[in-house]
Amino acid sequence: MITMQTGQKYNFSTIIPSILGIQHNNMLLTGDVSHNIAARYSDIATRHVTIYSACIGAGIRIDPDYTKMTKWYIFTTPNASELVLPLEYIIPATITPVTEIEYTLTIAGIDSSMIPIINETLLQLTGVRIKDARTDTVTI
């Protein structure tokens, strides 16, 4: 199983997607806390009752006592809200670190004939390749 690190972004799925969401992408791990600290960010006791009941119906075993869950994670979502989850709510096999960051680069005063020159210069300086949003291709 992957060890998640604070400050890293992750993609993952949850055990009860109808309540917790199907797929979480680009989730920035901002904290690894105890249940006492997690309760300051979210009503984890009430949420756990709902999740626990759904788990029973789905045949998924989790501890009925949320205070016994060892790791609680605080994630910042791409739209800057917070999501508090214990490790037990995340499907371990789906946890993947985000290794690609997407940026939009706008350069005023150029025409499309200059894109190959800019791409080559960035590639030489940084090793970064530019994806052309017009064609959704990467120039190599």
What is the rounded CA–CA span in Å between residue 87 and residue 74? 10
State the amino acid at position 22 in one-letter form. I
Domain locations along the chain: 9-97, 102-140
- Bridge partners (DSSP) of residue 90 are 14
Write down the pLDDT at residue 136: 53
Q: Which two tokens stand for residue 79?
A: 């739209």
% of the chain at pLDDT higher than 90: 58
Write down the pLDDT at residue 113: 84
pLDDT in tens, 64-76: 998 888 789 999 9
Residues in CB range of 40: below 8 A, 6 or more apart: none
What is the rounded CA–CA span in Å between residue 38 and residue 120? 47
Q: Which two tokens stand for residue 112?
A: 């499309």
Q: Which residue blocks in the chain are alpha helix, DSSP H?
A: 17-20, 35-41, 44-58, 115-126
SS3 110: coil
pLDDT in tens, 46-104: 999 999 999 999 999 999 998 888 789 999 998 889 999 999 999 999 999 998 666 66
- Look up the pTM and report it: 0.70
